[in-house]
Amino acid sequence: MKKHILSLLVAVGLIGSASAAIDNWTFGNGDLANGLVSFYSFNGNANDSVGLINGIQTSYGVSYGTDQTGNENAAINLQNGGYVTLPSVPVDISKDFSINFWCYGDPSGNGSYSDGSGTSRVDNFISTGLEGSGGLNIRFTSFQSPRWQCYSGWTYGTPYLGSSSPEYVSTWNFISYIQSGDNTHLFINGSLAASMANTPIATSLGTLSIGYQNSANNDGAYYMYGKMSDLSFYNTALSSSQVSSLYTLQSAPEPSTYALLGIGAIGMLMVRRRKRVI
């Protein structure tokens, strides 16, 4: 849908470039585009829409479905071990950065963690390195009690930034993880859910994984069962007002193709009238 919108707007001369349209629609006309280094809209592929990150991502077992506003073919669908791997982490996670994405937990997910008494969900959204290896990990788990977890510089015993709400399964949530100095913040649906001071600094550990993380002994993996859309990376720490604005912008449905055709037709008529006046 977004690709069709960009093509249409360019065709009627309402914008100067596709990148400008991505910024104006998805990130607003203000400062939400500042510091943006990578954006994965997942509109039928796993490419970086901003195009500032070099390298080719790899994916396995993925498909595409509806996103948080009902746009078709606009979210990556990860089931039964599907994942995406980026060749490098788009931002320097030893400095200030922000990671934002929408996620939806599929109720059919059967869990990827077993402790002998049963299986639990451990849906990994973003991770670097093996479990407990000092990297970065953002995930949801139902083990012991349902909760969102963000680990930085994770080794066993390291405290994590987390929240027990809201519900993950069968609903869309907007997640923002912000690092500013050694302070980290978790925002869920535009509101601050948790903060932690003196956060250990993570190491990139090479590639970045979307939808899974290998276990500590490299004898299995914790997979996400659900969908993700509008994944963005910033090399700055977004403010609470910026997070709220981004959530509001990406919550709103995009205008329909018919509405855009009407806008385009009006634009063309205005151009013709100007020519007649001249």
Whole-number average pLDDT of the chain: 79
Global pTM reads 0.81
pLDDT tens-digit profile of 96-138? 999 999 999 998 876 656 555 567 788 889 988 777 677 898 9
pLDDT tens-digit profile of 154-203? 676 678 898 998 999 999 999 999 999 999 999 999 999 999 998 888 87
16 assigned to some structural domain: no
Question: For residue 148, what is the enclosing H or E element?
Answer: strand 147-152
25 assigned to some structural domain: no
172 assigned to some structural domain: yes
The widest CA-to-CA distance across the chain, in whole angstroms, is: 80
19-53 residues labelled b (16+ CB within 10 A) or e (exposed): eebbbebbbbeeebbebbbbbbbbbebbebbbeeb
Q: Return the pLDDT at 24.
A: 53
Question: For residue 122, what is the enclosing H or E element?
Answer: strand 122-127
21 assigned to some structural domain: no
| Number of DSSP helices (H) and strands (E) in the chain, helices first | 4, 17
d(CA 209, CA 81): 12
pLDDT at 8 over 50: no
Parent domain of 219: 35-277
Specify the number of domains making up the chain.
1
Q: Which residue has the higher pLDDT, 7 or 226?
A: 226
Structure tokens at 132: 């407990």
Q: Which residue has the higher pLDDT, 227 or 31?
A: 227
pLDDT confidence band for 77 (50 / 70 / 90): very high
pLDDT confidence band for 153 (50 / 70 / 90): confident
Q: Which residue has the higher pLDDT, 251 or 260?
A: 251
8 assigned to some structural domain: no
Structure tokens at 159: 């405290």
pLDDT confidence band for 257 (50 / 70 / 90): very low
Q: Return the pLDDT at 256.
A: 53
d(CA 230, CA 26): 9
7 assigned to some structural domain: no
**Contact, 67 vs 75, CB < 8 A?**
yes
4 assigned to some structural domain: no
24 assigned to some structural domain: no
Q: Which residue has the higher pLDDT, 59 or 241?
A: 241
pLDDT confidence band for 9 (50 / 70 / 90): very low
| CATH number of the domain bearing residue 166 | 2.60.120.200
